[in-house]
Structure 1
């Protein structure tokens, strides 16, 4: 069991969620129950599952929650692409966020590998 707030991947993913909320506040109001809700939930699931996994007793359980976070990162990545295609975010915003998500995914994969090897 460890403090999730000490993990760099949690901090980076938490900052991503804050940025997603900032960007989606400008989305069309008719999307509030559509893509706005979906991307917010997918993004928030990344740090939430890291935090939940840190509270588990076994390394296997922790690794499973990290895997769920990785899936949520991929889901968020897709929704960002969709938002770009719908012209809700700019290409520049997309590229910046995609770089962040790719870094988060790499950090998660490294952490999963480390946790499973213990």
Structure 2
């Protein structure tokens, strides 16, 4: 059972993605494209923040809502990675690694949402699935 949002595997995966995005956006041409750089950084932080905010709400319906917002942000990150790739800010390998990581977060979020939707009808979050990793 997760006692804090930091215990959630999906939050840990999102944190790793956020750090990787920050690492790739701090140098080269990507660092000078302020709009895209800032937007993709905000989107990755949004994934982490929505997971944390939903967990802290401690109600199943609110948690699911925030997880949905986090999943939407994961989609936004994937879209922005295409823009970065099209502008040659990332190598093909860097693009694939970041994209795969963002996709992993989205899959974990989807599975956690499914688990919470399928759970009993109590309003509080009690247990998390033993396997919702991607």
Contact 1:54 1:62 in 2 (8 A): yes
Counterparts of 1:32-47 in structure 2 under 5 Å? 32=34, 34-47=35-48
Q: Which runs of 4+ in 1 moved over 2 A?
A: 27-30
| Length-normalised TM-score, structure 1 | 0.93
TM-score computed with the length of structure 2 as normaliser:
0.83
Identify the structure with the greater helix proportion: 1
Shift of 1:84: 0.4
RMSD: 1.4
User: Are residue 23 (structure 1) and residue 24 (structure 2) matched?
Assistant: yes
Structure 2 counterpart of 1:60? 61
Measured in 2, the distance between the counterparts of 1:88 and 1:6 equals 33
3-state SS in 2 of match to 1:55: helix
SS in 2 for 1:87: coil
* Matched pairs, number: 117
Alpha carbons 1:27, 1:36 under 8 Å: kept: no
TM-fit CA distance, 1:57: 2.8
Deviation at 1:2, TM superposition (A): 4.0
Q: Hey, what does 1:102 align to over in structure 2? A: 103
- Spell out, residue by residue over 1:81-102, the C-alpha distance to the aligned partner (whole angstroms, 9 max, x if none): 1000000111100111111111
